[in-house]
Structures are given as C-alpha cells and as structure tokens.
Structure 1
Amino acid sequence: MSQHAAAKPPVSLTPAPRSALVLLSGGQDSCTCLAWALSRFDRVETVGFDYGQRHRVELDVRQDALRELRRLRPDWAQRLGEDHFLDMRWLGQIGDTAMTADKAIEWQANGLPTTFVPARNLLFFTAASALAYRRGLNVLVGGMCETDYSGYPDCRDNTLKALQVALSLGLAAPMTLETPLMFLTKADTWQMAQDLGGEGLVALMQEHTHTCYLGDRSQRHDWGYGCGQCPACELRRQGWQQWVAR
C-alpha cells in the first residue's frame, strides 16, 4: 500500500446524526410531533410563529409544554435545543380569515372554512427552512394531517412533498419535511402520545397544549382546554372519545 493510500482517513459506515427543527404551535398535534422528533433525532430545535392568530394563547402555553417535556424525559431534555420565534403578523393583513380576525367560523362557497389561512403552512415551512439552513438542521417536522382536518389544501401530503422538492432546490441542500401525523386520526394521535411518553405525555397534552380556535382556556375538558364548540375542539373531543373507547 502506498503512503498516499495509507494516509486516507477510514470510511465511516455510520450515518451522520440528523437534526430537526419542529414547527411548534403549542397545540396537541405539534407537541406530539415534537415528542416524535425527540425520540428519533440527536438534536432538536423548535420554532413558533406569531401570525396574528386569535388563539394567541397557544404561544404562551408552548413554553409550558417545552418546560414540561424537559421534566418528563431527561434524555429528551438533553436533545432539546434552542427555541426560536418568528414574527409573521403580516399574514393577517393578506389572509382575512377567522383565524386572524373577529369573523364567524363557517363554511365558504369554495368548500373551505373561514379558518383557512391561505398558504400559511407553505410560508411557515419556507421561513423554517431558512432558519434550519442557518442552524445546520436538515429536517423540518410539522403536525399537518389530511385524515382529520378541515380540508386545508396546504395540509395535503402531495402539497408538502412538492414543497420539499422546491425548498431543497432553492437551498441547494437536502431539506426533508416530516409529517408523522399525515395519515393518522386524532385518536391515533392520542395513542402516539401514549406510545412515546406514556401517561405523563398524555397528561401533558391535556394540561399544557392548546388547540381551540377561539383561544378559550376557561373550560377544562377530559381532552384539555377549549370552548368545546369550534371545529378544532370538536375534532379533539371526538378523537379523545374514540381513543378511550378502544
């Protein structure tokens, strides 16, 4: 063997540890996805978005969820890194939806509810990809789902697969979009929480997440806080009832 060949470093057969940035709203789905990421990646960071949402209370409880996740699992605490916060309140200026203005939650002529914020998830992932690129993270994790949802087109699997290609091309670097809840029901999401973190994580979801569109934390139900009437509360309640009945 020549001296040149002998000087080459050995080839590692072990993949480099992957890292992830989780889009964390403070709701049940995104917090479950954070637990999912913490069980798989060596380094996990989080990002939240202020887009002028009426249920702004989710931005407050997300800090409680992060704190309780660290307490729940010391190994998760070691992997959980910096939390980021992006101001995207301009979305309310172009969206004109029931999520960002005092409007009734109802169905529109186009078949979509007034809670649909056009391109919200596309913009969230795009902003997150720029942040991830700068932070050296190569996986984005979101709680989008096309099983139990309101028909939002930017929650669909095909939409996000197309976005993954566009982001990777635009950054000239691989950027993977993971959506672990994509084909799960809300009952399945409760089950995933239990599988990942046992009763402690289920209790965390009940007490320290917020999913109600109206931002109501005055009423505590078996499944958590919420008005109990909006589409988000209805889906969460049905999912809880179906899960406990299994």
Structure 2
Amino acid sequence: MTATDPSDDGALVLFSGGQDSTTCLAWALERFSRVETLGFDYGQRHRIELDCRENLRSGLGRIDESWERRLGPDHTIDLPALGAVSETALTRDTEIAMSADGLPNTFVPGRNLVFLTFAAALAYRRGLRHIVGGMCETDYSGYPDCRDDTIKALQVALNLGMERRFVLHTPLMWLDKAATWGLAEELGGQRLVDLVVEGSHTCYLGERGERHDWGYGCGTCPACVLRAKGYTAFVAAACD
C-alpha cells in the first residue's frame, strides 16, 4: 500500500503502555481490520511504561484471536528534544506540584500536538487513515492539549497540511476513569481488566514495586490517585 492509498479500515494507536492507551488499543482492535501502534521516548521519568508495551500487545492477542490477527507492527519514535525543552516534573527529577499558571508541573507543553503530528506523518507513510489517542478532558489534570477543541483543531491542521482526510479518534474524551475501567470490561471482559491491572503502567514516578488493587505505582502521584479513584468507583458500581 502506498502513501497515496490510505486504507479506511486501518488505524494507528498512540500506545504508551498505560491504562488509557491499552483500553484505546482494544477499542481500535474491535473496529479496524489492521491496527498498528506507536510509542514515544522523550526522556519521561516513567519510561518504564514503554517496557510494558510488548507484553500488553501479546496479552491482547491472547484475549481475542481476531485482535491478534488485526494487530500489526509496533513503532517507537525517539523525541529527546521534547524532553530537553521541557522543564517539567515529567521530564525532570523534581517534586510534582501546581505551577503559578494553575497547571500541574507535569504538563509537557505541546506534547500531544507533537505526538499527533508525528503519528500523522507515520500514518501517511503506512497508509493508515485513522489515528487513535487516549486524550480525555473529563477526568484529567487540566492539560490544554487533551481538550476536545484542541484535537478537533489539530485534525483540521493535519488534513490541510498533509492533504489527507485523517480521522483523530479519542474514545475516552468524555469518560471518567471509572467509565474507562468499564469500557475495558465491555471490550475484553475481566481478562482485559486484569491485563490492565497487571500489565499497564501509569505512575508518573515510574515506580513498579508495590502492587495495589488497581495496579502498580507509588500510589500518591496524580496519575496513581486518579487511576485508584476510578478503579474504586468501578468496583463499587459493579457490586451495586
């Protein structure tokens, strides 16, 4: 397939190795006949998430044979420049706190804009029309590049700039974390929930030592707190 012949049933998933991107990958595997994955190494403190990706991809294939058939190549792009220009708690060994502008200092300016631009460039070359990301503005830290308006504006810019008709999908945009756990269960049953718990990584500090009910992590950083709160609400709803 050439770059001038994009496939309408092919998708590229931004796959970090975290809870959200794992759920999005399962979502894409349910909908598209060919699904490739893309991760980014930008010097993040929680780079261990990238090491989780291979086992997660294998685990998804074991959950559903059709998913295994549809799962295509995995790609990783090194973006050290993004980390180099980002004085943030996600790319530096510094305490996580709120900044004067009201955003947490884990915000990496332009990260999703850069990720989606590179994803579109790769999708162009691979002949893929659909790009799937785990951005969400329901349960999130206030990052402006996670907002629905941002994603819609970027889709327009990418299509104009590359003369394509890419479709940017954000299946988690209007879901809170409890609903994201619920979506995983809907897509792959308890086996997918267990895979997310055991195999994915969300902790900003990159800690993988302690095992909680909701997975591994420090338990105190914003990402762990949000994941734990969502899991507790998900389990409570299931017991009602």
User: Does the 8 Å contact 1:70/1:76 carry over to 2?
Assistant: yes
1:158 aligns with 2:149: yes
List aligned pairs for 1:146-185, cutoff 5 A: 146-185=137-176
Q: How far, CA to CA, are the matches of 2:227 and 2:36 in structure 1?
A: 26
1:34 aligns with 2:25: yes
Q: How far, CA to CA, are the matches of 1:106 and 1:173 in structure 2?
A: 40
SS at match of 1:46: strand
User: Does the 8 Å contact 1:147/1:182 carry over to 2?
Assistant: yes
Q: How far, CA to CA, are the matches of 1:19 and 1:168 in structure 2?
A: 17
Match of 2:217 among 202, 223, 226: 226
Q: How far, CA to CA, are the matches of 2:117 and 2:8 in structure 1?
A: 23
Aligned to 2:3: none
Aligned to 1:100: 91
Q: How far, CA to CA, are the matches of 2:174 and 2:8 in structure 1?
A: 27
Aligned to 1:131: 122
The letter for the 2-side match of 1:75 is: S
Whose radius of gyration is greater, 1 or 2? 1
Q: How far, CA to CA, are the matches of 1:146 and 1:173 in structure 2?
A: 26
1:45 aligns with 2:33: no
Normalising by structure 1, we get a TM-score of 0.93
Normalising by structure 2, we get a TM-score of 0.95
SS at match of 2:24: helix
User: Does the 8 Å contact 1:147/1:184 carry over to 2?
Assistant: yes
Aligned to 1:3: none
User: Does the 8 Å contact 2:8/2:130 carry over to 1?
Assistant: no
Corresponding pairs, count: 231
SS at match of 2:141: coil
Deviation at 1:17, TM superposition (A): 4.6
User: Does the 8 Å contact 1:17/1:42 carry over to 2?
Assistant: no
Q: How far, CA to CA, are the matches of 1:133 and 1:45 in structure 2?
A: 13
Q: How far, CA to CA, are the matches of 2:57 and 2:221 in structure 1?
A: 26
User: Does the 8 Å contact 2:8/2:128 carry over to 1?
Assistant: no
Q: How far, CA to CA, are the matches of 1:92 and 1:214 in structure 2?
A: 15
The letter for the 2-side match of 1:223 is: W
Segments of structure 1 that go 5 or more residues without pairing to the other structure are: 1-15
Segments of structure 2 that go 5 or more residues without pairing to the other structure are: 1-6
Question: Runs of at least 4 residues of structure 1 off by over 4 A?
Answer: none
Deviation at 1:70, TM superposition (A): 1.1
Q: How far, CA to CA, are the matches of 1:227 and 1:73 in structure 2?
A: 31
Aligned to 2:54: 63
Provide Cα deviations, 1:132-174, integer angstroms capped at 9, x if missing partner. Answer: 0000000110000001100000000000000000000111010
Provide Cα deviations, 1:92-129, integer angstroms capped at 9, x if missing partner. Answer: 11111100111110001100001000000000000000
- Of 62-71 and 194-203, deviating more is 62-71
The letter for the 2-side match of 1:124 is: F
Q: How far, CA to CA, are the matches of 1:221 and 1:62 in structure 2?
A: 20
Deviation at 1:71, TM superposition (A): 1.3
SS at match of 1:95: coil
Aligned to 1:90: 81
